[in-house]
Chains A and B, each alone.
Chain A
């Protein structure tokens, strides 16, 4: 839910509550005042009535407005004010009256007096007041709502602007957050914090990136020394047993160095450190690399079927393009069978590299890091993850499938040039 909507909702609910409450107060207040006024009026009426009677003006009851009853047996008692309901023959229904009943001694005789005043006017008045009140309130509520909305929009504008900038903030671009101008203290504070946070983030990111790279390079140097010394030892004639041990060390050091190189490449890909600007034709790389592996294929009598009728333009770093193709071709050879087949097909911006294989790889996890084939324990299991990472960054969709003994990797250009 949007902030403005939420605040508006609370605003409306509370205003509504306040309205009901104030209407209730108003209702009680008006009723009380009217009642007081009515009682005053009844007293005045009764006083005039008594005055008239004292002057011996002949008076009869005038129902329902007043009743005069001679009642010698009554005693003088305090006045009573009651609300009564009487039948009105004209309206043919019961109507509410406020009644002042009293006992007075006039010219030596006791009279029971009842003076009444209709409450209909009062009810109508309250009804009218209520409607007016509700009408005025609704109009002011609507106005308030509109004004509040406009003002809020204006006030929150810098916040939304900051939000937008934070959304488009990118670590890779290395630009820190630029705060929009605002004169609201809270937003200034927020922008200040955001700026500090993003600056720190960018710095940390660079430090980490550099650290990984430097660490990787620093590891290569001692490895280079180890390998050089081992190669020197290999040159001297040692007994076969020692030779074998030295050779194992040599192989392991080489392996470590290759692993380090691949991890560095993966880190760089993760950090999106490569530029993917210039379009190159992937089929050109493919043709060159196929020429390279041809002798290998001949040795193992692997058939090569190539269907390249169009170009495969791709925005990619040329070095990465070569790594991508070499990784895929290497796999197609490595996991092939003697006398097998490699099929390379390009159609509709979809490049498929397939090979016959005797293995049953798990397609779901095949692009995961360090997924090794049981038949090839010497493999590091990074080739396909590197291929995937490169593909992703070049805007290619990479997928693998296996049907019977034919394993395929499909590169699909989703960004149509």
Chain B
């Protein structure tokens, strides 16, 4: 998985590149459109993470350049601009998804994976984590080849955890992943707690291991370490 990250805020750029590398991707950063064009000519990428407001031009108009240079590369827009401004025009121009700044790194990875999976098509896709097997097309989860019944939110939760394994996911980032940005509910966290309890029980009922660690007060971590 080769990813080009275009972002003029160097701290953010470094953070994203570092994070994506740690998650197993090959990530290269570019601080300007000029630099990005250079990198696009030199290397082949699966996905481009594109900031919209760059010092040497608008990211929206750069989408066409990306398409011309590498028609296969997926595009994920990352912008401080509100979704209400640019989302539609961004997607119209051929971007695959849109993420508003500030975002959780876990969410970034989750979106990237989702885009790349969509790009690959519907050939039998599974995600395996020890005894857990997720059939992505059917949204089904097997523990030791035994199907477990999960609600939609439980499935999304498990999938989010496995995508971001070995990482502390704050309750806020989980809530945002499950609900999007719109819904802010006081009882969100209770809801997450209940889902995680149910999820744990459903997995351990099938003799699966409990990989969900509570990180006191903050969130959860999915790990077999």
Which A residues fall within an 8 A CB radius of B? 217-218, 220-221, 223-229, 231-232, 234-235, 240, 243-244, 247, 250-251, 253-254, 257-258, 261, 264-265, 268, 274, 292-293, 295-296, 299-300, 317, 319-320, 322-323, 326-327, 329-330, 333-334, 376, 378-379
A289–chain B nearest beta-carbon distance, Å: 8
Contact with A along B154-182 (1 / 0, CB 8 A): 00000000000001101011000001011
B21–chain A nearest beta-carbon distance, Å: 13
The answer for the CA separation of A227 and B100 in the assembled complex, in Å, is 13
Within 8 A of A (CB), among B112-132: none
- Across the interface, do A299 and B191 meet the contact criterion of CB distance under 8 Å? yes
The answer for the CA separation of A322 and B102 in the assembled complex, in Å, is 21
- Across the interface, do A379 and B186 meet the contact criterion of CB distance under 8 Å? yes
Chain A contacts of B168 at CB under 8 A? 234-235
- Across the interface, do B191 and A221 meet the contact criterion of CB distance under 8 Å? no
A-B contact pairs, 13 of them (CB 8 A): A221-B101, A231-B104, A231-B105, A232-B19, A234-B168, A240-B216, A251-B172, A261-B100, A261-B181, A295-B191, A299-B191, A299-B194, A323-B182
Instruction: Indicate if B224 sits at the interface (CB-CB under 8 A).
Output: no
- Across the interface, do B186 and A334 meet the contact criterion of CB distance under 8 Å? yes
- Across the interface, do A250 and B184 meet the contact criterion of CB distance under 8 Å? no
Contacts A221-B12, A234-B218, A235-B167 given; does A300 touch B102 at CB 8 Å? no
- Across the interface, do A378 and B187 meet the contact criterion of CB distance under 8 Å? no
Chain B contacts of A265 at CB under 8 A? 82, 84
Name the residue on B nearest A222 (C-beta): B9
Top 3 A-B pairs ranked by shortest CB distance?
Answer: A224-B102, A220-B80, A326-B182
Known contacts A224-B102, A261-B82; 16 further A-B pairs (Cβ under 8 A) = A217-B81, A221-B80, A225-B15, A228-B12, A228-B105, A231-B105, A232-B15, A243-B216, A253-B102, A265-B82, A293-B183, A299-B190, A300-B187, A323-B182, A326-B183, A327-B182
Chain A contacts of B100 at CB under 8 A? 261
Contacts A234-B168, A247-B217, A299-B190 given; does A225 touch B11 at CB 8 Å? yes
Chain B contacts of A234 at CB under 8 A? 168, 170, 215, 218
Chain B contacts of A231 at CB under 8 A? 104-105, 170, 173
- Across the interface, do B184 and A258 meet the contact criterion of CB distance under 8 Å? yes
Name the residue on A nearest B106 (C-beta): A231
Name the residue on B nearest A318 (C-beta): B88
Q: Which of A225, A227, A292, A378 contacts B186 (CB 8 A)?
A: A378
Name the residue on A nearest B104 (C-beta): A231
Chain B contacts of A257 at CB under 8 A? 102
Name the residue on B nearest A338 (C-beta): B187
Chain A contacts of B172 at CB under 8 A? 250-251, 254
Name the residue on B nearest A320 (C-beta): B84
Name the residue on A nearest B22 (C-beta): A235
Q: Which of A250, A319, A329 contacts B170 (CB 8 A)?
A: A250
Instruction: Indicate if B41 sits at the interface (CB-CB under 8 A).
Output: no
Q: Which of A224, A258, A326 contacts B101 (CB 8 A)?
A: A224
- Across the interface, do A317 and B104 meet the contact criterion of CB distance under 8 Å? no
Instruction: Indicate if B34 sits at the interface (CB-CB under 8 A).
Output: no
Chain A contacts of B215 at CB under 8 A? 234
Q: Which of B80, B173, B184, B194 contacts A224 (CB 8 A)?
A: B80
Chain A contacts of B2 at CB under 8 A? none
Within 8 A of A (CB), among B205-225: 215-218
- Across the interface, do B80 and A243 meet the contact criterion of CB distance under 8 Å? no
Name the residue on B nearest A377 (C-beta): B186
Chain B contacts of A253 at CB under 8 A? 102
B78–chain A nearest beta-carbon distance, Å: 9
A293–chain B nearest beta-carbon distance, Å: 7
Chain B contacts of A232 at CB under 8 A? 15, 19
Instruction: Indicate if B25 sits at the interface (CB-CB under 8 A).
Output: no
Chain B contacts of A334 at CB under 8 A? 185-187
B218–chain A nearest beta-carbon distance, Å: 5
The answer for the CA separation of A287 and B27 in the assembled complex, in Å, is 40
Chain A contacts of B12 at CB under 8 A? 221, 224-225, 228
Chain A contacts of B151 at CB under 8 A? 295
